[in-house]
């Protein structure tokens, strides 16, 4: 899967968790026990440099029970993009 730099986009909204269950290659929140790492998807609306609206997707790794604040997460690398 390709990764994209956030520098290519202008964020229009703050990244928010989707609550989506991720594929089998990930440990989801509901499957993790306290203190175990899990993956969570976040999305935000943005505009690319050609003025096209996109939905950016990130997969963040968290520690169940010790989740960081959103501003503490690394948003530099976008996991995937949906052009709208």
Domain interval for residue 52: 4-83
- Per-residue pLDDT of 40-66, as tens digits, reads 999 999 999 999 999 999 999 999 999
Q: How far apart are CA 17 and CA 50, in angstroms?
A: 26
Distance CA 57, CA 45 (A): 9
Q: What is the pLDDT of residue 1?
A: 52
Pick from 7, 8, 66, 68: which is nearest to 42 by CA?
68
Name which of 71, 39, 72 is nearest 57 in CA terms: 39
Q: Give how many domains the chain has, as a whole number.
A: 1
pLDDT digits (tens, 9 = 90+) for 4-37: 788 889 999 999 999 999 999 999 999 999 999 9
The pLDDT of residue 25 is 95
């Amino acid at each position: 899967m390709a990764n994209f730099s956030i520098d290519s986009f202008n964020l229009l909204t703050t990244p928010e968790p989707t609550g989506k269950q991720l594929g089998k290659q990930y440990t989801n929140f509901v499957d993790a026990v306290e203190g175990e790492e899990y993956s969570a998807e976040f999305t935000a609306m943005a505009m690319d440099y050609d003025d096209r609206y996109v939905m950016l997707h990130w997969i963040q790794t968290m520690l169940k029970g010790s989740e960081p604040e959103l501003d503490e997460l690394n948003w530099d690398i976008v996991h995937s993009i949906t052009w709208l």
